[in-house]
Amino acid sequence: MDYYDVFNGDADGLCALHQLRLVEPREATLITGVKRDIALLQRVPVGHSSLVTVLDISLDRNRAALKALLDAGAQVDYFDHHHAGAIPRHPALRAHIDTAADVCTSVLVDRHLAGAQRIWAVVGAFGDNMDDVALKLAVTLDLQASQVAALQDLGQCLNYNAYGENQQDLFVPPEQLYRLLRQYSDPFEFIALAPELSVIRQGCRDDLALALRLEPHLACAGGRLFLLPDAPWSRRVYGAFGNALNRLAPVQAHAVLTPDGGGSYGVSVRAPLRDPRGADRLCAAFPGGGGRQAAAGIDRLAPQQLAQFVSAFERIFGRIG
C-alpha cells in the first residue's frame, strides 16, 4: 500500500501531523505547501491501494480530488476545521471535521489521540492564533509560565514561516521543516537545538521592522490601507503586519495589500479590534473575497479594481471610525 500525508505547511498542519506520527509512525510521501496553498489533494496519484491522511486543508476546496481518490479505491483519513460543505458519505472516508470557532486541526488530532501528544497541540493552537484554546490545553500539562511562553513563540514562528506566495519566499520549505520537527518528541529540545527556529524568528522581526516604516496609501478616520512593495518579505509579513497595526491602533481598521508577482494583489483586512465588523462585507464584494466580520481577505484583487477597493474601504470604515 502507498501512504500519503497531505498537510497545510503552517503551524497547525505541521503540529497536527507531528502528533499523529509520534503515536502512529508511518513513512509516507509528504505533500504540502505555503499557507494559502490548500488545493493539495489533486497532487496525490489516483490509485487503488493507497491510504491518504489529510490535515488542515478545506474539504470543500478539495472535493473533486477527494471524490476521485475514493472512487479509485483509496482510504482517506481527513482532519480539518475549515468550511467543509456537505461531507461525502463513503465507507473509505474517516472524517474528523469540526468547524467550531474554538477548534483547530491540532485539537482534532489531540482528541483522536486522547491527548497523547498534547504539548504539540498547544504549539499548533498558539500558531493558529487560538491563544485561549492553547492556554486551556497547557493547563492540563502542568507547565511553567516560561515554558508556555516558549511554546507560544514556537507556534508563532512555525506559522510565520508558512506565509509567502511560493516556497521560495519562505525561510524553510514546509516539508523540510516537518522533517526537522519529527526528529524531536520534545518541543523544548527543538527550541534549544534547531538553528532554523532562530532564522525564522529573526526573519519575522526584520520583516515587521521593514513594514512598520511604510507610510499608508490611504488614511481616513476609521482606518489605514497599506500597499506593500513586490518583495519576498512583503509576501511573508502581511498577516503579522495587519495584527501589529490592529494592536497599535485598535480603534481603526487596516488593510494590507501585497503584490502577488503576477500583477494582482493579495488582500488582508482587519476590522477595528474595538468594533470588529465590516471586514467580511468589504472583501465579499470582490471576486475571491470572504472571511469573518473581524478578519477577511481577497485571494486576487485585479489591479484595475484597486481604486474601487480603496473607495469601498474608505466608505465602510470611514463611517465606522
DSSP 57-88: S-TGGGHHHHHHHHHTT-EEEEEE-S---SPP
Average pLDDT of the chain to the nearest whole number? 93
Average pLDDT over residues 186-200: 97
pLDDT digits (tens, 9 = 90+) for 260-291: 888 999 999 999 988 888 998 999 999 988 77
**95/54 Cα distance (integer angstroms):** 10
- Residue 37: is its pLDDT beyond 90? no
CA torsion sign for 233, 312, 245, 107 is: negative
Q: What is the DSSP letter of 214?
A: P
Please report, for the chain, the start and end positions of each structural domain, with discontinuous segments joined by +.
2-202, 214-320
Q: What is the DSSP letter of 215?
A: P
Provide the Cα torsion 178, 182, 185, 186; round to 10°: -40
pLDDT digits (tens, 9 = 90+) for 208-247: 999 999 999 999 889 999 999 999 999 999 888 988 898 8
CA dist list (Å): 261 to 164, 265, 269 = 11, 8, 20
pLDDT digits (tens, 9 = 90+) for 126-185: 998 889 999 999 999 999 999 999 999 999 999 999 999 899 999 999 999 999 999 999
Rg (CA), the chain: 20
**55/214 Cα distance (integer angstroms):** 36
Average pLDDT over residues 191-212: 97
At 290, which helix (H) or strand (E)? Answer: strand 289-291
| pLDDT (0 to 100) of residue 321 | 41
The CATH number corresponding to 214-320 among 3.10.310.30, 3.30.1490.20, 1.10.1740.10, 3.30.230.70 equals 3.10.310.30
Q: What phi and psi, each to the nearest 5 degrees, are found at residue 176?
A: -65, -40
Assigned CATH class of 2-202: alpha beta
pLDDT digits (tens, 9 = 90+) for 70-126: 999 999 999 999 888 899 999 999 999 998 878 999 999 999 999 999 999 999 999
CA torsion sign for 9, 10, 16, 21 is: positive
Q: Kindly list the strands in the beta sheet with 223-227, ordered across the sheet, starting from the edge strand earlier in the chain.
A: 218-220, 223-227, 253-259, 265-270, 295-301, 289-291
pTM > 0.85: yes
Segments of 101-175 assigned E as strands: none
